[in-house]
Amino acid sequence: MIEKNEILTQYLRNFAELTDKDIAESLPLWKPRKITKGDFFNMQSMVCNDLGLVVKGIFRIYYRDPNSDEEKNLFFFSENQFVVSFRSFISQNPCWYFIEAMEDSEVIFISYQDLNGLYETNPNWGKFGRLLAETFFAYAQSRTEEFMFFSNEKRFQRLLEEHPNIVERIPAYHISSFLGITNPSLSRIRKRLKDSQV
């Protein structure tokens, strides 16, 4: 519990410049949770009621086409990032996606109800909410713009900047799905980048 509080305090202080008093007020509301590889933080068609901070592990947000059963990876979240289906969380409507642990993972989470209670009673937590919304808006817009303006290779490089060890941590076909390319195309990109560093 002490370690959980230390991790959370440091992250919240850096993310939103919350005071020690602000953070102390929230600590009892955050709960630790372990999620086994292959299990879910949230399921498609269910309301996402929790905002999680990834302490350990990596998650994918993906959509499963009900007609073809094809899965399409949309986002990855790893250590020191918030994981949530943000639209579902703020609207309290069912989520369109699955959020799956790709490794044995640990998160610290707060419920929608508890977080909104903080927003209503503390202006500094209101600022946290604004920054959280801006962060997830930036994720969504960057994802759209990368498909419009960037080559497959550049998108792969951006992914590595965001999650440096992702290639060693998850199967290549998940990365191919995220990039919207085939496995052979991903192999060629990785080889080109490796050769250019020699």
Sequence-separated contacts (24+) of 42-46 with Cβ below 8 Å:
42/84, 42/85, 42/88, 42/95, 42/97, 42/98, 42/99, 43/95, 43/98, 44/94, 44/95, 44/96, 44/97, 44/98, 45/94, 45/95, 46/94, 46/95
For 37-64, write each residue's pLDDT tens digit: 999 999 988 999 999 999 999 999 999 8
Q: pLDDT tens-digit profile of 61-83?
A: 999 887 888 889 998 999 999 99
Q: How confident is the model at residue 198 (pLDDT cuts 50, 70, 90)?
A: low
pTM: 0.86
% residues pLDDT > 90 (the chain)? 51
